[in-house]
Amino acid sequence: MRLKKVMRVLLTLTMVLSIAGCQNSSSKKTTIEIISYKQEAATYFDKVAKEFNATHTDIKLKISSPNDAVTVMKTRFIREDYPDIIGIGGDATFSEFVDAGILADISDFGDIKLIKKAYIDMLDQLEYVPTKGIYGLPYVANASGILYNKDIFEEHGYKVPDTWNELMALCEQMKNDGLLPFYFGYKDTWTTMAPWNSLAVSLAPANTTQNVNAGKTTFTKEYDETAQKIKTLLKYGEKEVAAYGYNDACTAFAKGQSAMYTIGSYAIPQILSSNPKMHIGSFVMPANNDKNKNYLNSGIDLMFGVTKACKNKKAAYTVLEYLLEKKNLQKYINAQMSLPCRTGDFNLPKQFDDMRPWIESGKMIDYQDHHYPSTMGCDAIVQSYLLKGDKKAFLAKWDKDWKRYNRDIIRKVQEYNKTHQS
């Protein structure tokens, strides 16, 4: 009887020590938290976190993709409750965070050398003033131009246009054949930015906003041709262009109600959800009559930044290395119809075939609206111009509103230039 009691005591003691050992082992793990703005990729990231945690005993990875993620990030920054890594787009949000000193320089991250130069350059151009270092890891990009129905093109013998005149001739031919060339879906103001960006990358300098901030030029000068050509496209789209939104346009294009759609690659999954068997192609917006001057509109759709507050940069780098592994990046490409920002051989979605020469040569320029402040409502300004405005008044308003909404940035840029004149 006494022996049984002793055995029970020893067994209980063993269990307590075992539990304590497990707790101590768990407490030694470094937790790395990522907040990502890509809610549509939440399922992918959930799987990545599980796979990472199953293969790494010293780091626990937590990834969340909340609604209105950027607001969540800013709220936590105010409270000084920083995640270790943030996943954001290569746009004005990145510019704000670099300017606020929230992000760490990751120049010492070994795999940064794998990123295509075009995308590193895009990050540099997003900075309000030149800032020494690299503050983001470009992960995937998207591309915007013109989506087209391959079956319609094949049936009618249409060829992908290389120049603006060829595009106009194609639209006229489609009208003569009883087809609607484009669907736009401008009821949702943000959709106006798709053709605006894909025209502007070839018709205006890539550093237009920087030059305006420096007082070297105006939007009236740089956006004149872009404004003219985006309005020219209107006569080849649906009659009530503001009566239909993005979802309507995706569905209409999926049903073959237009031959082309001026939107980015990000729309392809939604279009295919309406018509999984649709054969979609995409080509670069032929904004110029010299095809060699036409650039692919491609921007960073998702990049990762390590916050300065991250307590274990080495562990954060281990996570980034894992995300950059080819097998993991390929899974993201497959799920989100994206382009990789890193070098290497990847199986790109077939919808990008017509854009491959630009992708492989790096002949790409970032979206102009990645430099626009959200508070200015540039998409609404473009929509208003397309519906009822005249070009001169539209461009004058753009210049006026830019000074109003970018007053602090303009002052910062001009002060920097004064103190850094050679």
What domains, with CATH codes, occur in the chain?
A: 28-140+296-367 (3.40.190.10), 142-295+371-419 (3.40.190.10)
The three state secondary structure string of 23-52 is HHHHHCCEEEEEEECCHHHHHHHHHHHHHH
CA distance 320 to 292: 36
Could you please report the per-residue DSSP string of 150-204? HHHHHHHT-----SHHHHHHHHHHHHHTT---EE--TTSGGGGHHHHHHHHHHHS
Greatest distance between any 2 Cα atoms in the chain: 102
Closest to 306 measured CA to CA, from 93, 130, 83: 83
Report phi then psi at 34, rounded to 5. Answer: -115, 135
DSSP state of 342: B
125: its two tokens:
């151009």
Count the alpha carbons within 13 Å of 329 in the hemisphere toward its beta carbon.
26
Q: Which pLDDT score, from 0 to 100, does residue 85 have?
A: 98
| Residue 272 CB coordination number (10 Å) | 16
294: its two tokens:
């036409």
Q: Which pLDDT score, from 0 to 100, does residue 210 have?
A: 93
CA distance 195 to 192: 6
Q: Which pLDDT score, from 0 to 100, does residue 5 have?
A: 53
pLDDT in tens, the chain (422 residues): 454 554 454 445 444 444 444 344 445 789 999 999 999 899 999 999 999 999 999 999 999 999 999 999 999 999 999 999 999 999 999 999 999 999 999 999 999 999 999 999 999 999 999 999 999 999 999 999 999 999 999 999 999 999 999 999 999 999 999 999 999 999 999 999 999 999 999 999 999 999 999 999 999 999 999 999 999 999 999 988 899 999 999 999 999 999 999 999 889 989 999 999 999 999 999 999 999 999 999 999 999 999 999 999 999 999 999 999 999 999 999 988 899 999 999 999 899 999 999 998 889 999 999 999 989 999 999 999 999 889 999 999 999 999 999 999 999 999 999 888 75
Closest to 122 measured CA to CA, from 144, 104, 137, 107: 137
Q: Which pLDDT score, from 0 to 100, does residue 20 have?
A: 43
CA distance 20 to 50: 25
